[in-house]
Amino acid sequence: SQTIHQWPATLVQPVGSPLSLECTVEGTSNPNLYWYRQAAGRGLQLLFYSVGIGQISSEVPQNLSASRPQDRQFILSSKKLLLSDSGFYLCAWNTGVAGGPEQYFGPGTRLTVT
Amino acid sequence: GENVEQHPSTLSVQEGDSAVIKCTYSDSASNYFPWYKQELGKGPQLIIDIRSNVGEKKDQRIAVTLNKTAKHFSLHITETQPEDSAVYFCAASRDSGYSTLTFGKGTMLLVSP
């Protein structure tokens, strides 16, 4: 069966510091991968998605970037964090070309920028 | 692009009552409609979905209905239990692995014992 991991689970970082969040998926090949942010409200904002290694689509211009160095690894980064980057970051996957649009989420990373 | 509206934002019910959450969407090309349950501090969990070729789908105490003409779909939970308390999200997309989901803003369901 497929499993999605995110780490760290929680992170407290000062303003201006760098960020690296990691997401990995097990048990599948060539997945589509997604990064979402959930701010203090409840909405899910799509930040980036990737349909393959090195292929990144950005949905919202911002202080963040994403990379996909391996088939099942998706990384969210920032060079300098802002207070507004605080939130709950969720990674998700689906089977991409081989399957349908069903997305499955990871456990999330709670980021607090102080 | 697609826009999904979800109501109500908060819903309080007594244990054993039914709960209904409603969503509307704007893109007539959307044909896949999932529902997610998110418990506090956890990632959303896909609980049920429906495609446009059916009008209703059931799974034990939960059901989803779809009205493509009116562009709205609903989640029905019967015989609610305290463990149903969570935030529920609806979403819409085209039925393709390349599609991205557009989410509603969520409904916080509180089930009191």
Tens-place pLDDT, residues B46-79: 999 999 888 999 999 999 999 999 999 999 999 9
From chain B, the residues in CB contact with A100 under 8 A are 32, 95-97
* pLDDT attached to residue A61: 65
* Of residues B32, B89, B108, nearest to A44 (C-beta): B89
Tell me the two tokens of residue B16: 């054993």
Query: Does A95 sit within 8 Å of B32, measured CB to CB?
Result: no
pLDDT band at A98 (very low <50, low <70, confident <90, very high): low
Q: Closest approach of chain B CAs to the CA of A31, in angstroms? A: 9
Range ranked top by mean pLDDT from A1-5, A89-93, B96-100:
A89-93
* pLDDT attached to residue B38: 97
pLDDT band at B100 (very low <50, low <70, confident <90, very high): confident
Percent share of chain A, pLDDT over 70: 96
Are A95 and B97 in contact by the 8 Å Cβ rule? The answer is: yes
Beta-carbon contacts below 8 Å between A and B: 64
Whether B10 contacts chain A with CB within 8 A:
no
Distance between CA atoms of residues A13 and A74, nearest Å: 20
From chain A, the residues in CB contact with B45 under 8 A are 105
From chain B, the residues in CB contact with A46 under 8 A are 100-101
Rama region for B79: left / alpha / beta (φ>0; ψ in -120 to 50; rest): left
Percent share of chain B, pLDDT over 90: 88
Across the range B95-102, mean pLDDT stands at: 80
Whether residue A112 is predicted with pLDDT greater than 70 in this model: the reply is yes
* pLDDT attached to residue A25: 96
Which of A36, A31, A26, A20 lies closest to A5, judged by CA? Answer: A26
- Whole-number mean pLDDT of chain A? 92
Whether B46 contacts chain A with CB within 8 A:
yes
From chain A, the residues in CB contact with B50 under 8 A are none
What is the number of other CB atoms lying within 10 angstroms of the CB of residue A81? 21
Distance between CA atoms of residues B55 and B68, nearest Å: 8
DSSP 3-state of B93: strand
Whether A98 contacts chain B with CB within 8 A:
yes
